Structure 1
Amino acid sequence: MSRTILDLMINGERHEILIEPHWTLLHVLRKVIGMTGTKENCLEAECGVCTVLLDGKSVNSCILLAMQASGCHVTTIEGIGDPEHLHPLQTAFIEAGAVQCGYCIPGMILTAKSYLEENPGYIPTRDEVREALAGTLCRCTGYRKIIDAVVLAAERMAAAGVR
């Protein structure tokens, strides 16, 4: 199969890679670039653990062809904070005890980030957060602590004017 050069902007860094046209963004992130924070599970856009941000909007990277991300800014969990400067969502997830096995957490955090950025300064209700996260499944929790974490982050982000 013929390969194509793809120019991707991931977490603010340019990556020029040789790909096959059928490769998904998930495959490129994990297997080609080595960013394993984005998780692989259903490969059918049913569970949300592969969520990344494409120009700030949450997408399932398991069904998005890598070529479709050309010219866009891709943000993975590795791109929203570092150990010394966590994103408010990361801090809230830790403080609320929302992290259990951690498998779904990158997708949850990025989905929540996209939702909160679409509604800057707004503090959502628990039901609104539940609806916003509906496409990302967690096998370990009853979602209560995850929802607590998103509301806590929204409150802090609104108070600080952070996006």
Structure 2
Amino acid sequence: MNRIVLFAFGTSFLLVGLVGLFLAVGYFQDSKFHAETSEWLKAEPEEIWAYITDVNDLPNRRKEVVAIKILETRADGIIQKWEETPDMGGYMIFELRESIPNKLWKIELTDASFKMRGSWTYSLERKIPGTVVTITEDSEITSVPVRGAYFLAGRDATLQKEMELIRNRFSGR
């Protein structure tokens, strides 16, 4: 019986320690983050533009997005505001902040159940034959546990994954 109690106590102590370490890592991470990544792709800006601005297709190309709900559409038919439902539950509300066709698309995460906010700017620059794609992320995570999780996953994981998706879509040309 004493071994069982000692084992239970030891396991509990270890788990509490790991959770404490995880929270400490999140606590000491900067809440604000800025990074950018660029890549030359052998595709026209118009093709890349059509891909990155197709909000309705997000669940088909990003496995973590299970649903999209359009909240606002401009008079010209461009989606202004939408809600993403991630595979882990919750919600993320994005708004279009700036749009220059085939050149610049800036979206902002205005509300999320994960206590995150931020903006992602996609810049397209024609470099014949092809396009230089630059994605810039400016984000903030106020939740200590979420900062801890992003530290473990890599704070730039979302940015790198987005560039990977674009690269994979237009590679092999």
- TM-score w.r.t. the length of structure 1 is 0.29
Using CA pairs under 8 Å that are at least 6 residues apart, name the structure with larger relative contact order, 1 or 2.
Answer: 2
